Every structure is written in structure tokens, then in C-alpha cells.
Amino acid sequence: MRKLKMKLPVSSAMYCYLINHYVKRTAICCHCRVENGECATIAQAGHCKAFDKSLNDVLVFRDSDTEFATTRLALARALEGNQDNEDNPWIGKTVDAVIEDYKSDKELAPSIYELISSTDIIAEITI
């Protein structure tokens, strides 16, 4: 069974955005009987027909105003490209270390946004 197993929690609004703009399966969503607020929950249970396994590689970060998504590869490239930047709080850290730091302190989301804004933000929504 294909289930949504993202490393970080995702809202249903962001999940729908990713389905429609990242994996481009809008047609499947148009025929779905699920209410719009339950999409991420349905995908985590393995019942979303529009789900694509590539979404499990997407990282979603959230601060008080914005929810944004990127890929592990883009975050790794941003970390590598900013190793000489003295303002980078993650010098010498891995993608998994950044994820763990974010899980323990959600206030790091704006710093992560600044880090990856130069590479690849695949989705951004205002909360």
C-alpha cells in the first residue's frame, strides 16, 4: 500500500498544492469524494489515489505565517553551497541534522527558508 510518510508533518492545504503543482495529478483530485480538509490524513492512511511516492522525499517547513516545501536534494545543495557563509547556522551539518534541529525548534523555519531560497522552494503557501 502506498502511504504518505513524510519526515515532517504536512497540512492538507500543502498536500493538495503538491499534488496539483508538483506531481500534477489534478484530474484525479477532481473526481475525489474526500472533503478538501482531509487530504493529508487520507494519504497517510494510504487511500489517496493521486498520491505519488516522490512526495515522501519532500520536506515541509512551517513558521507562523508560511508553509514551504523543498526536496532533500535541494536542501543538501543549499547546505553545500553555503559552507563558507558565516551566517549559515548549519555549517558542517547534514540534511538530517537540519531536520532534527527544526523538529526541536520550529522557530528555525525562517533561517531554513533563507538558506534554501537561493536554490529550490517547490511550494509556498501563506497560512
pLDDT over 70 (residue 36)? no
**Amino acid 100: pLDDT:** 95
Contact 69, 123 (CB under 8 A): yes
CA angle in degrees (0–180, nearest 5) for 94-66-13: 100
* pLDDT tens string 77-113: 999 988 888 888 888 899 999 999 999 999 999 999 9
**Amino acid 120: pLDDT:** 76
- As a whole number, mean pLDDT of residues 2-23 equals 89
* Length of the chain counted residue by residue: 127
Contact 101, 59 (CB under 8 A): no
**Amino acid 125: pLDDT:** 86
pTM for the full predicted model: 0.85
CB-based contacts of 82, cutoff 8 Å, min separation 6: 88, 90, 91, 115
- Residue 110 CA to residue 62 CA, distance in Å, equals 9
**Amino acid 1: pLDDT:** 53
> How does the average pLDDT of the chain come out, rounded?
88
